[in-house]
Amino acid sequence: MPGKAKRAIQQREAKRAMRIASYADDRGSCEAAKRSVIMAKRGQGKTSMMKFTDIIGQESLKHNLQSALLTGRLSHAYLFSGDEGIGKKMLARTVGAALLCQNPQETDGRIEPCGTCPSCVMVQGDTHPDLRIVQKEKTNYAVDEIREQVVQDIVLQPMIGEHRVYIIPEADRMGIPAQNALLKTLEEPPSYACLMLLSERPQALLPTIQSRTVGMPLKTVPQAKIEQYLMERERIPDYRARECATLAEGNVGRAIEYARSERFAEQVRQTMKLLTELKELSTPQIMERLQTLLLAAETEEAEGAEEKKPKKKGLKDAGDRELARFLDLLITLTRDALVFKAGAENRLVFADGEAYDREMACLSWEQLYGRIGLIREARERLSANVNTDLVLELLFLGMRMEKTYG
Ligand SMILES: [Zn+2]
């Protein structure tokens, strides 16, 4: 069995053991909690702890949070905002780990969780009784979910240390009643509590929620930094790091996802192939290729989440995120064709697509710019909720006819 798969199984086992043990702990068995820590340590081996230094970019936010942790002046409520994949949860969990750590480390005025104390191990295994990541069953939080998991839970004294940490992912998925329920807690939080709300759309939250939380907007990270990170941490070659970092547009989580996905590299090659052969394909053949390209991705994601999805019907099932990324990929590939045509080969994003670039360079400048126009138009139509199959069919027919723009 490859090391990666084995480690994943060990981690799952350890997590399960921790969960079982923490239930026992709820009933007052300290022994069970201790055992769970030992088991988790054994299972997870030398998996590195999440630390502030592991988070690239976000320098000023990290600095603020680390100083607040060091001086004991952490606020009771934060609102971390930014796109999906930008690192909101990772940052919040690291703050939680540092706050709960029994042996925090300090170097040059910077604090880090130690990574080895029982608290750190439990945070890592998502089983710390004083760190709660609030869950929801449906798309939106039910008001009772906020009441039970936060409002009523937060009045309980910390079980292990001196703090209780609450992370609320997708906080804008709280309706008005749920937000109002939370508001009371935000107005008078217990002294030991720290609440961290995460949101992609912070402006969708009630102004009263926004004003009672300290805003922490996460920023995109410079491409060069992401490339370096991918090469060092994900151990991928420079040209792949460049591909992933370019497409991720400053979003570290997304870049890592591209870097780890074997499917992504394959998707790029298959898309190049589709574009190269476009003229020889019939419309049903094009649609079939798109199905394979986009819905294979969906299957991979669904398997990862260990849940079964109903049978696929159309390209819409690929999901908005996947479709948006596919259109980004089409734009990047078309730009590459322009770059190649201009003779600036050292500036190609996908350096190993020479056959594709040669073929595309046969198109005129107008035709290539026209393609970018068509892709942007498709993007607008998709965001206006036009039928996905129709939009993509029109896009590829348009490209096949080499309709030009402007
Ligand atoms: Zn620790």
What's the CATH code of the domain at 67? 3.40.50.300
Same domain, 315 and 198: no
How much distance in Å is there from the Cα of 154 to the middle of ligand 1?
Answer: 22
Q: What's residue 18's pLDDT?
A: 47
How many structural domains are present in the chain? 2
Same domain, 199 and 274: no
Helix (H) or strand (E) holding 132: strand 131-133
**Is residue 361 domain-resident?**
yes
Same domain, 162 and 267: no
Same domain, 325 and 188: no
How much distance in Å is there from the Cα of 125 to the middle of ligand 1?
Answer: 13
How much distance in Å is there from the Cα of 189 to the middle of ligand 1?
Answer: 25
Same domain, 196 and 60: yes
**Is residue 124 domain-resident?**
no
Same domain, 188 and 278: no
How much distance in Å is there from the Cα of 104 to the middle of ligand 1?
Answer: 6
For the cut 80, the answer to whether the pLDDT of residue 332 exceeds it is yes
Torsion angles phi and psi, residue 387, rounded to 5 = -50, 125
How much distance in Å is there from the Cα of 41 to the middle of ligand 1?
Answer: 13
Q: Count CB atoms within 10 A of the CB of residue 219.
A: 14
End-to-end Cα spacing for the chain: 56
How much distance in Å is there from the Cα of 15 to the middle of ligand 1?
Answer: 18
How much distance in Å is there from the Cα of 115 to the middle of ligand 1?
Answer: 5
Same domain, 109 and 190: yes
Give the rounded percent of residues in the chain with a pLDDT score beyond 90.
60
Same domain, 75 and 185: yes
Q: What's residue 404's pLDDT?
A: 57
Same domain, 206 and 290: no
How much distance in Å is there from the Cα of 99 to the middle of ligand 1?
Answer: 9
Residue 107: strand pairing partners: 110
Q: What's residue 403's pLDDT?
A: 58
For the cut 70, the answer to whether the pLDDT of residue 141 exceeds it is yes
Same domain, 61 and 178: yes
**Is residue 329 domain-resident?**
yes
Residues 188-246 pLDDT 10s: 999 999 999 999 999 999 999 999 999 999 999 999 999 999 999 889 889 889 999 99
Same domain, 188 and 325: no
Confidence of residue 308 (pLDDT cuts 50, 70, 90): very low
List helix spans (H) across 116-164: 118-124, 143-146
pTM of this structure: 0.71
For the cut 70, the answer to whether the pLDDT of residue 28 exceeds it is no
How much distance in Å is there from the Cα of 39 to the middle of ligand 1?
Answer: 17
Range of the domain at 212: 53-114+135-217
For the cut 50, the answer to whether the pLDDT of residue 36 exceeds it is no
**Is residue 227 domain-resident?**
no
Out of 192, 217, 242, pick the residue that ends a domain.
217
Same domain, 213 and 268: no
Mean pLDDT of 178-190: 95
Task: Choose the weakest-confidence range: 20-29, 52-61, 362-371.
Answer: 20-29
For the cut 60, the answer to whether the pLDDT of residue 40 exceeds it is no
